[in-house]
Amino acid sequence: MKRQSGADGQGILPVPRTGEEAGRVYDRLSRFYGYTVGALGRRYSGMALRRLSIGEGETVLEIGFGTGYCLEVMAKLVGETGSACGVDISPGMIGKTRRRLEKAGLQKSVELCCGDATCLPFAGGAFDAVFMSFALEVLDTPQIAEALAEIKRVLKPGGRLGAACMSKERGESAAVRVYEWAHKRCPMYIASRPIYAERAFRDAGYRISDKHSLKIFGLPAEIIVALRP
């Protein structure tokens, strides 16, 4: 497997699976995802979501919501005067999230859709804020730019995009090399890999308003809030 090269993908490993394959993988993982990978990333997802500063009455979207932890929080933040939507590629994850929302009494407050970030089923300028938590880096390299363009389409002027991403902005490290080694050997299940997140946001025409660097088990990550001009 070769790294993607070129202006928009230099040094980033590809993700050699189709959307249908990804949906089937996450369907299988959905039974225990909330107790394993989802639980490990919940702290950092919460940090990213707080920096997005969602307020009452806003219209918000989460892409790749998994088992729905952050989407539930978002629905509570916007309150009865706002609205929340979620898009995920996995029917299994959608089922888990629907049960979570029913338990919280929020099933009528959130719209759930099956789809992916490169073709969102919403009108232009529909949302005040869009959130992605460790979802952008599971897209193949050309799809990252496509997703960011599509998100910009559905954001209102001045709307906010918040994301937590594994990052290569600070260069190579031993932890990154080990993770990329695992990705190359099992890309179907370890599809995520570090990306140049901030660079991708700027190339897509966003203005970075907030950025926070951190490490997750030694892996560098970024929390970014960007504005649609």
Residue 185 maps to a domain:
yes
Residue 140 maps to a domain:
yes
Query: Which tens digits make up the pLDDT trace of 66-103?
Result: 889 999 999 999 999 999 999 999 999 999 999 999 99
Residue 67 maps to a domain:
yes
- Kindly tell me if the per-residue pLDDT of 49 is higher than 50: yes
Q: Per-residue pLDDT averaged across 177-184, rounded?
A: 87
Residue 26 maps to a domain:
yes
- Kindly tell me if the per-residue pLDDT of 37 is higher than 50: no
| Number of domains, the chain | 1
Q: What pLDDT score was predicted for residue 157?
A: 97
- How far is Cα 139 from Cα 15, in angstroms, rounded to an integer? 7
Q: Per-residue pLDDT averaged across 136-156, rounded?
A: 96
Q: Per-residue pLDDT averaged across 173-187, rounded?
A: 85
Residue 211 maps to a domain:
yes
Strands laid side by side in the 155-166 sheet: 110-114, 83-88, 59-63, 127-133, 155-166, 219-227, 207-216
Residue bearing the bigger pLDDT, 7 or 90: 90
Residue 10 maps to a domain:
no
Residue 4 maps to a domain:
no
- Kindly tell me if the per-residue pLDDT of 2 is higher than 50: no
The band of 36, judged by pLDDT with boundaries at 50, 70 and 90, is very low
Q: What pLDDT score was predicted for residue 141?
A: 92
- Kindly tell me if the per-residue pLDDT of 155 is higher than 50: yes
* CATH for 168: 3.40.50.150
Range of the domain at 177: 19-227
Residue bearing the bigger pLDDT, 218 or 126: 126
Residue 2 maps to a domain:
no
Q: What pLDDT score was predicted for residue 10?
A: 61
Q: Per-residue pLDDT averaged across 183-207, rounded?
A: 89
